[in-house]
Amino acid sequence: MLGLAAVYLTAHLAFLAPSLEDIDSINFALGLRDYDVARHQPHPPGYPVYIALGKTARALLGGIAPGLPPARIDALALAIWSPIAGAAALIAAFSVFRAVSTLSMALAATALLGASPLFWITGARPMSDMPGLALALTAQALLLKGAAHRRALVAGALAAGVAAGVRVQTACLTLPLFLYAVLRQRRAGAVWIATRPVAALAAGGLAWAIPLVLLAGGLSPYLAALGSQAGEDFAWTGMLWTTPTPRRLLFAGWETFVLPWDSAPLATVVGAIALAGLIVAARRHRRAVLMLALAFAPYGLFHLVFQETGHVRYALPTLPAIAWLAACAATIAERVAPIVTGAIATAALWVAVPAGVAYGREVHPAFRAIAAMDERRGAHPDAPTFAHFSMLRPLEAASPDGIPPLGKIPQRNREWLGPVEYWRAGGRSVVWFLADPKRTDLANIDPQSRRDVSHYRWDVARHPVLSGTRPLAADWYRIAPPGWYLEEGWGLTPETGGLAQSMGTGVDRRPIKGYVRRRPGPMHLLVGGRHFSAAGDPPVVFTASLGGTPIETWTVEPGAGGASFLRFIDLPNGLPGGADDYVPLVITARAEPASHPTPQVAIRQFDIQPADTLIYGFGEGWHEAEYDNASGLLWRWTSGRSVLRLSPPRDVVLRIRGESPLKYFGEVPTVRVRAGDRIVGELHPSADFEWSVRLPADAIRTADGAIAIETDRIYLPGRAEGTADARELGLRLFDIAVDPVTP
């Protein structure tokens, strides 16, 4: 057993996290420097025992390697405890397994636990999960022994109290066994129970709780910080408690029992064997089933109901029970049982080890982006810097003296307004923006000015065992003074559209404003949107104005399921110079007649460029863009025929990336790209696809600037899924771009 623990420890020391990564690890690192729970350094409940361990390691590393950057020292100071704790967890898990089963079963279950992909990679991360599990398993082992031996019960109670100072959720792993052991020791009398195990549990908890409250400034400030964190947690819909639906339960089960194995086939095999093990154990090892249910079922229930299961690392404490059940099932094979468990462990390591090696070799994208920014900061000392909120903590952690000078950051979910306020105040330098690629609010800034960008990605982000890590990637934009930028109320993406609707800032509530840079020469403007009301509701009259002068008025009639519109507006005189660099652009909407309240409408598309610059928009046949907040995935469905309209006609390349149609259809569709009557491309996609089609200017000119994407297979979600969704869906596309052909 000690050999397994030693192998685990040795295998991980060379592949410790090379940087901080998840927002929680960054909060821990900031807590090492200045412990302040109210400022989420670290986040509530405070993790005082884990922070104390990190401070100890940080002091030692500072003496051994003083030249390392502070963020690197912090990452090592936190991560070093994970392989140590992983080895200790294996020893403790073996003790738990041995208390309820044979030596061979305990060894097999411990080996499976150590090889499981989530357990493996958690042993390298700068997080509290593994130290918390190690202490909880140690407490469990002592409490199981404590049912018969009083000293072990007292020691287990003390360990349980201390474990909650690493991760408070460990109480779900330790308190049920504590109550069981106390019940078994009831003959010792109430006085002994109160003054020994109960007192030890309290002492273990108070040892960290009292300093925690004192450092927080008192009980009231601490409870306020804790309440704020709880409010944020329950504001999300990623937990079953707030979204008690069959769909959420299905996802919770997938995220808890499949993703921790980093491979669906491996998870399927292990899950099937574990279920068989449950049947075997119910017949042959009933006491063991009861003990393991007390040890792990309460946490499993708490995890499924009250935690965001998308953070896969939270499922770590469920793995010991699954490993033991799989080992139990293997006993059916009798003499060849070690071969069976060895094969499963080997398969698990085959999945786990490459992910662990890759993790240990690649600095997180946010910190690589910040390092690149630091290298160029000397040449651009005055570049105003902005960031999404998810990037502010990495910026703070990467700087030895705290967060570097930043431009004014608006409240969360409105970060694009930082550069907007800078430009409105007359700023004209190139803006640096450290962006979370999951966010889409930068669509409110001229895309032509966002072409100077460096993308930083994390190769290991594709591994399910790291699901829930925030952030997963970073983009560093260098934004020159843009041709245009928009304030609030526009809905160019599902994110910004949802924000406008929730805050009541959309065009159906009030005029929406943007700013267009003055430029000589002809220009053209694109504006598109949607009337969401059904037939019978009033039409809506839109007016676009530049510099207070109306340039176009148009009316949109309602339609069944909503009516979309797309307009191109020519500005033959451009925007001549004036006192200000930018001219305000305002769009208003009102019902017709004006005595009626304005129904729900939104502006979904906008662009304005010199007349010789290509602009394009989504015309008839396209469905509303959709967005998954958790993954950052953005997509748009076509119908049977969906039209892109562009101006001016020129040679272009249409690039699309889509999902396999066979997820929805039984036959491979025929997909065509057409300009007028001319078919310029044909595809028969049977898997996820990327497709580029070149279209000549003459074909586009003949088609009056229209490019049609057609498919002969249609998916009807309402009929197939028994819902009220009446859409006709063709292709699910993740990327759609029309680019001019460069000579």
Give DSSP secondary structure letters for 101-133: S-HHHHHHHHHHHHHSHHHHHHTTSSSSHHHHH
**In this structure, what DSSP letter does residue 523 have?**
E
Kindly report the CATH number assigned to the domain that includes residue 730: 2.60.120
* 646 and 587 share one domain: no
Helix (H, G, I), strand (E, B) or coil at 57: helix
CA angle 707-711-712, nearest 5°? 140
Residue 118 near residue 54 (C-beta atoms within 8 A): no
Smallest CA-to-CA distance from 515 within 492, 546, 549 is with: 546
What band does 719 get if pLDDT is binned at 50, 70 and 90? confident
* 43 and 151 share one domain: yes
Residue 547 near residue 553 (C-beta atoms within 8 A): no
Under 8 Å CB-to-CB from 279, ≥6 apart: which residues?
Answer: none
Helix (H, G, I), strand (E, B) or coil at 183: helix
* 462 and 577 share one domain: no
Residue 118 near residue 16 (C-beta atoms within 8 A): no
Mean pLDDT lowest for which of 166-175, 559-568, 589-598, 696-705? 559-568
Neighbours of 179 (CB within 10 A): 12
Confidence (pLDDT) at 110 = 97
Q: Which of 575, 608, 641 is the last residue of a domain?
A: 608
Say how many domains are in the chain: 4
Confidence (pLDDT) at 73 = 93
Residue 547 near residue 598 (C-beta atoms within 8 A): no
Confidence (pLDDT) at 478 = 97
Mean pLDDT of 468-478: 94
The share of the chain scoring above pLDDT 70, in percent, equals: 96
Q: Which of 479, 512, 546 is the last residue of a domain?
A: 479
* 21 and 37 share one domain: yes
Confidence (pLDDT) at 561 = 66
Which contacts (CB < 8 Å, 24+ apart) does range 548-557 have?
548/584, 551/525, 555/592, 556/529, 556/531, 556/601, 557/531
Residue 268 near residue 257 (C-beta atoms within 8 A): no
Confidence (pLDDT) at 577 = 76
Q: Is 658 exposed, middle or buried (0-12, 13-18, 19+ CB in 10 A)?
A: buried
* 557 and 595 share one domain: yes
Confidence (pLDDT) at 68 = 83
Q: Name the CA radius of gyration of the chain, rounded.
A: 30
* 600 and 640 share one domain: no
Dump pLDDT digits (tens) for 595-616: 888 999 999 999 999 999 999 9
Q: Which of 479, 505, 534 is the last residue of a domain?
A: 479
* Domain extent at residue 626: 614-743
Confidence (pLDDT) at 410 = 66
Q: List, in sequence order, every beta strand (DSSP E) within 447-511.
A: 453-456, 474-479, 484-486
Confidence (pLDDT) at 109 = 96
Burial 238-271 (b: 16+ CB within 10 A, else e): bbbeeeeeeebeebbeebbbbbbbbbeebbebbb
The token pair at 293 is 């249910």
* 692 and 743 share one domain: yes
* 176 and 268 share one domain: yes
Q: What is the residue whose two structure tokens read 């090889």?
A: 115
Global pTM reads: 0.91
Confidence (pLDDT) at 366 = 96
Residue 400: is its pLDDT beyond 70?
no
* 159 and 297 share one domain: yes
Helix (H, G, I), strand (E, B) or coil at 510: coil
**DSSP-derived pairing of the beta strands 385-387 and 453-456:** unpaired
* 458 and 510 share one domain: no
Smallest CA-to-CA distance from 348 within 273, 252, 295, 280 is with: 273
* 453 and 541 share one domain: no
* 470 and 489 share one domain: no
Residue 640 near residue 550 (C-beta atoms within 8 A): no
